Chains A and B, each alone.
Chain A
Amino acid sequence: MKPLAKAVPEGVQPAQPHSTLGVEIPQVTARAKVLGRAMYAGDIKVAGMLHGKVLRSPYPHARIVSIDTSAARALPGVKAVLTGDDAPAQLWGVHHKERAVLAKGVVRYCGEEVAAVAALTEEIARDALDLIQVEYEELPAILSIDESMDGEAPTVHPGRENNVGHEIRFERGDVDAAFASAHLVHEATYQTHSQYPGYMEPMATVAALDPDGRLVLWTSTQAVNLVRMQVAATLGLPVSRVRVIQATTGGGFGGKIVEDDNQLVAGLLALKTKRPVRLVNNRLEDFQACCASVPERITLRLGMDREGLIVAKEVRILAECGAYAGLAGDVMHVSAMRSDNMHRNGNVRSHATLYYTNNPPRGAFRGFGGTQMLFALNSHIHVMAGKLGLDPVEVHRRNVLPAGEVSVHGWQIGSNGLVECIEQATEAIGWAAKRSAPKAAGVKRRGVGMAAAMHVSGNRTIGNWDGSTVVVKINEDGRVNVISGECDMGQGASTMLSQIVAHELGLPLADVHVVPPDTDVAPVAVGTLASRVTMSGGNAAIVAGRKARDELFALAALRWEVEPSALSIGGGAVFVTDRPEQRATLAELARQAVWRHGGGGIQVSGTWDPKTVMHDDQLYGNIAPAYSYAAQAVEVEVDCETGRVTVLDSYVADDCGKALNPIAVHGQSNGAAAQAIGWALYEQLHYENGRLANGNFADYTLPTADALPELRGGLVESNDPNGPYGAKGASETAILPGAPAIANAVEDAVGVRITELPITPEKVLAALRARKEEGAAHA
């Protein structure tokens, strides 16, 4: 059992007795949670609150012929029954505004919101759903990419010819010439499937009108401002008449940004009933409402020289967004080009198309398109390394684009710990010895595999702003409030902000309180996505913290008639550097600030926006302030009789720039690795004629504690020049290498290559059988 380490790193200046930077500390939100006091949206009770329920379409594609809500409305305790006729004409969506809050005339996926009820109790609302009579006329449904691509196919959305939601094409260098000169060219097609985010807290919102008639939403979210914008625009309210407060959020993983209808329906019910309305998904509903990740069919062609250097890359991606596009186009964009930036290769061609179908909408999930492409790329590199007689580790190393260089797409690599990550992970797993060891002859065979990955810490393409503003308010007792719109969904953003402000002001962590994001008071914020919060929020917190410190110094300078440059801060006080006994606590200075002529409280705002650019129309440009890296090595055991694949050991090395809280970074690496193993081996959504057949936790199996090994990991600190104290994002990168590392390990173990996820027992057995038959045929 690993003992807890406590070490204050050197080189953190000025020396701060209270500083927790780099120290293993509990999350600042943890105490309330272990006491059972943390309030999630579903825990909130407002006087007079009604309970909402949503009626969902049982068909993947149908015309709504008629809806009779009279029996539902007559049920005692029912206060509202809304249909598409009551929903705003304004459609919603991320890039394409193509979705109605409640379906208008047509449903495009099984699970689409058709009607909404608000009643005195949840049971009455549930009973009312059964009383709503909907007459549907079923229409032909498009349930696969192939059907969607068919020229004769009906369109999912009127006016969207070819059912294309987004298309990307670009080319750099001389791809054809590079392939022609390559020593080895290999092409293969990979299929990745949709993963349900599976946060433990189902989507939940309480919506109410305040006494001034403004709409207030307490909600489970990663992005209070994006929700506010969407709710205001869709429900026809000025943005300032909508207030969004983040309730303690029980996980998000990308599934709680802005692709969920929950806040819109809750808001609509509150506006119509003029009463508070609680709309909480049960798990069955959440499986239908939440956007699962984007499935992609990836045909990859790579050319390598004799030493394994990639000289040419061509990829064709067919992705599916389901009935509504949401963020799926952005996800596909990442698949189409992000991984190119890991390598030196300058000859790349990419063509990616996003197709609509009548399957449920697909969208953002941790990894955001990187998981899909890196499954293909890492599998491919392993295969080609084998053909060249090279160790895949060597091939990866050779291709790494190091720090100080600019990538094929104009990304400026400020820091890069990937080589160290690869070395750390493969060493930890016992790579060399295990690869060269003779394979056992029994029914259970072991193998090792590895993979490498790159991700962003921030992303300007969201809307030409990737910055953050943090407000620091010093209370008259010397304790500090930190106010921002960046959301903690469990990953530790509030702790990170607290640590930074506490460090800058020389305070113990307990004296800093991060106010839950509230759009009424928080500065506008993009929110928690693209692994951006440590980078942008953290840097903004430094700016704000130093501004507050400067105001404190100005007050102390007045008090003692010295220059601000003669002062230091630490131990909860400001003091004269050369005469530390001349000191005043932050409380004393905060009071001094107020009670004087021209006084006022100390409240400062610090903004930080990275010096990045939007990419041009050829997708070129340095879009993020830093790039993060990770590598993973796994050992698996394949049971040749049952097809079961067991991960015996896994090691993720994560280049997080600087670990501000090592426990938190390890936690993110472990959680990400678990999700990757789930995606690779345990999780699969099954549909029957467009209807989700296993939308519950008994049939859709997330990894349990006894289905995973002790996940191991390490940190690499590449000290990014742009990151706060050198730190980068460290949450998504770690999910990227898992599935290909497992696929590569399976090949090492039993010599079969699975290119279609998930790696199921049936596929392993079929592949083993096919290989045996092939062997017999050649005998």
Chain B
Amino acid sequence: MSTHRIECTVNGEAHSVEVPARRLLADFLRDDLHLTGTKRGCETGICGACSVLLDGEVVKSCLMLAVQVNGRELTTIEGLAEGDELHPLQKNFMQCGGLQCGYCTPGFIMASCDLLKNNPRPSCDEVRHGLSGNLCRCTGYTQIVESVLHAAEEMNHGD
């Protein structure tokens, strides 16, 4: 079994870690870098609780190997806030009831980042399709959609 030195940037911080080839990216983040905000929720790549940004685009970290991110940039939920200042998505998920148990929330927020980057003014339907790779069992999605739309409005006014 091969081991590899992974050099990558996570939330703006450079890391250099030796990992076995079979280390999943999700486990690399959670167990090697101790960033447990990214969650494991299923075994079939469906739930999206493991979603992170790779070079700014949302992927499922349980479907990637750590060796695949050598030389690349990752953003996890822990990297969104600026100090104590919450990212508009984090703030609006809180205020609009976009989370209850919170387990799916980091994944939803990361997927929403990607969605709004590609489509800063999405319709309700576009939000729902853009989040079709994430499952929530608590909210029924209505307040998640509201959270994203409110965040989008806030982010667009900043322009």
Contact = CB atoms under 8 A, between A and B. Distances in A.
Contacts of A697: 42, 44, 46-47, 135
Contacts of B138: 200, 251, 490-491, 667, 671
Query: By CB atoms of chain B within 10 A, which of A30, A664, A669, A710 has the most?
Result: A30
A696 interface: yes
Interface in B26-57: 30, 34-47, 49
A36 B99 contact: no
Query: By CB atoms of chain B within 10 A, which of A200, A202, A283, A670 has the most?
Result: A200
A35 interface: yes
A283 B44 contact: yes
Contacts of A663: 96-97, 143
B58 interface: no
Interface string A281-293: 0111000000000
Nearest to B47: A697
Interface stretch (A521-529, A558-566, A608-616, A700-708): A700-708
A2 B146 contact: yes
B45 to A, nearest CB: 8
B93 A34 contact: yes
Nearest to A665: B97
A199 B101 contact: yes
B143 A667 contact: yes
Contacts of B78: 35-37
A375 to B, nearest CB: 19
A249 B138 CA distance: 12
B43 A283 contact: yes
A282 B42 CA distance: 6
A47 interface: no
Interface in B51-107: 76-78, 81, 86, 90-91, 93-97, 99-106
A26 B41 contact: no
Main secondary structure of the interface of A (DSSP, over half): loop
Given A2-B146, A696-B42, A200 B96 contact: no
A390 interface: no
A696 B93 contact: no
A27 B49 contact: no
A164 interface: no
B17 to A, nearest CB: 16
A710 B145 contact: yes
Contacts of A250: 39, 101-103
A76 to B, nearest CB: 14
A200 B47 contact: yes
Contacts of B44: 283, 696-699
Interface residues of A, number: 64
Contacts of B77: 34-36
A267 interface: no
Contacts of B22: 123
A284 B137 CA distance: 17
Nearest to B153: A1
Interface in B10-27: 22
B100 A200 contact: no
Contact of A40 (B39, B124, B134, B135): B39
Query: By CB atoms of chain A within 10 A, which of B44, B97, B143 has the most?
Result: B97
A674 interface: yes
Interface in A196-240: 197-202
A390 B95 CA distance: 44
A754 B127 CA distance: 33
B132 A706 contact: yes
A31 interface: yes
Contacts of A705: 127-129, 131-132, 134, 136, 141, 144-145
A135 to B, nearest CB: 28
B142 interface: yes
A244 B47 CA distance: 29
B105 A199 contact: no
A583 B127 CA distance: 51
Interface string B118-159: 000000110111011011111111111110011001000000
B109 interface: yes
Interface string A47-86: 0000000000000000000000000000000000000000
A253 interface: yes
Contacts of A202: 41
A42 interface: yes
Given A34-B86, A663-B97, A696-B44, A674 B140 contact: yes
A26 B105 CA distance: 14
A163 interface: no
A200 B43 contact: no
Interface in A702-760: 702-706, 708, 710-712
A492 B42 CA distance: 25
Query: By CB atoms of chain B within 10 A, which of A32, A34, A284 has the most?
Result: A34
Contacts of A712: 142
Contacts of A704: 132, 135
A195 to B, nearest CB: 11
Contact of A201 (B103, B109, B134): B103
Given A4-B96, A33-B105, A251-B101, A711 B37 contact: no
B147 to A, nearest CB: 10
A615 B128 CA distance: 47
A693 interface: no
Contact of A711 (B47, B105, B140): B140
Contacts of A201: 39, 41, 101, 103
A59 to B, nearest CB: 22
Interface in A478-527: 489-492
B99 to A, nearest CB: 6
Interface in A247-291: 248-251, 253, 282-284
Interface in A4-37: 4, 24, 26-27, 29-37
Nearest to A40: B103
B139 A35 contact: no
B97 A200 contact: no
**Across chains A and B, which 8 residue pairs bring their CB atoms closest together, nearest first?**
A36-B37, A490-B101, A33-B102, A250-B103, A670-B140, A674-B140, A36-B77, A490-B100
Interface of B: 22, 30, 34-47, 49, 76-78, 81, 86, 90-91, 93-97, 99-106, 109, 124-125, 127-129, 131-132, 134-146, 149-150, 153
14 contacts: A1-B149, A1-B150, A27-B97, A31-B86, A34-B99, A34-B105, A34-B109, A123-B22, A202-B41, A491-B138, A663-B96, A705-B145, A710-B145, A711-B140
Given A705-B141, A708-B128, 11 more contacts: A26-B94, A34-B105, A39-B36, A200-B104, A200-B135, A251-B101, A282-B40, A666-B142, A667-B100, A706-B132, A708-B140
Interface of A: 1-2, 4, 24, 26-27, 29-40, 42-43, 45, 123, 197-202, 248-251, 253, 282-284, 489-492, 663-664, 666-667, 669-675, 696-699, 702-706, 708, 710-712
